[in-house]
Amino acid sequence: MSKKRVIAIFSGNRAEYGLQFPILQAVKNHPDLEYKLIVSGAHLDKNFGSTISEIKNDGFEIYAEVEIEMAGDTRTSTSLAIASGINNLTPVLDKLNPDVFLVYADRFEGLAAVITSTQMNIPTAHVEGGDITEGGALDDSVRHAMSKLAHLHYTTNEQATNRILAMGEDPWRVHTVGFPAIDLIKEGSFENPENIVNKLKLDTNKPLVLFTQHSVTTECEDGELQLIPSINALIKLANEGVQVILTYPNNDAGGQSITKVLNRTSELKNENIQLHTSLGRYLYHGILGLAKTSTWRVACVGNSSSGIKETPVFGCPTVNIGTRQQGRLRGSNVIDANYDEEDIYQAIKKCLYDEDFRLACRNTINPYGGGNAGDLIASSLANVDLNPKNILRKGMNLLGENKNGWFR
């Protein structure tokens, strides 16, 4: 009997875990693989809901908890957090020495993780590379840096695959698998309407807005200024009878100023506004799923990637605010709005009350795969050649290059 490959999977925050769930599940169920889950970042922070409890409730065993010290809300906070992540993760990976280390997306926690693993010559897989968000967040730079460090790439769409190939990555390393979150959505793995109503004490006769707005990390000092128009538009809608669910942002630089505004908004005691540190994947997707029904009027609002990548599957009308998701592949259910109260207000009204647009949203085409990303990733991890001479030695294959120099 051959030895199972040990796949270490790193999870650094609540949103990331919701997207990693199908991968964890597929690796756990694969006969030739064994998962070791390393939990870090905001999962361990009570200010962001201590979402490690959600992981435990889902039945996944945790191999290690790695602290990343995100103290403060300034431009130095993230760089110091990355340093602490590298320092604290190194002995964990040294002891475990997995066959493959898997990281996700484009956040600073993942960057710390991929720097650590690749400098220790551990074959590293990166999920969701090649995407583009041109709107001022550091995400693009982080994501592309992680891709160049990693040895295997699992992308959500063909455009992303082509970008990674354009970076010079060997074609055999790059796999288009789709967006993992769609696996769970296609399975119907989200909360049902009756439980949503009971848990959140919702009125089925009132429209509903689900709101998340993160800091734009290259403009972290402007987080509060960028949020105020959104909040003013939402308060206006709440006063008109629209139910508003606010959720905390990521723990990025600038996030604390956003959290303070959200807390002040909650203190207004408007009966139609409620604030949550974290809803969890199951409940969050359940709320988006209400858009599939003809009886609910639901809109997803903010600047989270979930509003771009997860809402098309539910046919949920979406308002994307500001520049954070600029350039990202999207469905026809998304309306872009500036940091302007009236612009945001009118866009949300269209999502909730424009019957033609709501119908078009329910029929929007999902550009992010067919719902089997987890299985495709697990199968690849089980079969890829892990000979160090192949997996660790990366080439640089660029179109237009020849042995005598360059041409265009």
The 10s digit of each residue's pLDDT in 161-212 is 999 999 999 999 999 999 999 998 999 989 999 999 999 999 999 999 999 9
Task: Report the predicted TM-score, pTM, of the whole model to 2 decimal places.
Answer: 0.84
- Identify the pLDDT of residue 49: 65
**Token duo for residue 324:** 């954070």
- Read out DSSP for 294-340? SS--EEEEES-THHHHTHHHHT--EEEESSTTTT----TTEEEE-S-
What angle in degrees, to the nearest 10, is found between the helix axes of 139-149 and 108-119?
Answer: 20
The CA-CA-CA angle for residues 315, 13, 106, to 5°, reads: 75
Please report, rounded to a whole number, the percentage of residues in the chain having pLDDT higher than 70.
Answer: 96
Residue 404: predicted pLDDT? 53
**What are the residue ranges in the chain where pLDDT is below 70?**
1, 48-49, 135-137, 399-408
Q: Is 153 helix (H, G, I), strand (E, B) or coil?
A: strand
40 three-class SS: strand
Residue 181: count of CB within 10 angstroms of its CB: 26
Contacts of 293 (CB under 8 A, 6+ apart): 193
Cα angle value 204/209/212 (rounded, 5°): 145
Residues of the chain with CATH 3.40.50.2000: 5-177+372-406, 190-362
Amino acid at position 108, single letter: F
In the numeric block, the tokens 């800091």 are attached to 215
Structure tokens belonging to residue 360: 């078009």
Strand 405-406 and strand 401-402: pairing? antiparallel
| Domain 5-177+372-406 listed as CATH 3.40.50.2000 | yes
Topology at the third CATH level for domain 190-362: Rossmann fold (3.40.50)
Side chain identity at 324, as an amino acid letter? Answer: R
pLDDT of residue 204: 96
Look at the block and give the residue holding tokens 């199968």: 379
Percentage of the chain exceeding pLDDT 90: 77
> What does each C-alpha distance from 94 to 27, 45, 210, 269, 336 come to in angstroms?
22, 25, 42, 50, 45
Rounded-to-10 torsion of CA 355, 245, 227, 136: -80
Output phi, psi for 175, to 5 deg.
-130, 125
Taking a C-beta distance cutoff of 8 angstroms, is the pair 224, 264 a contact? no
* pLDDT (0 to 100) of residue 43: 86
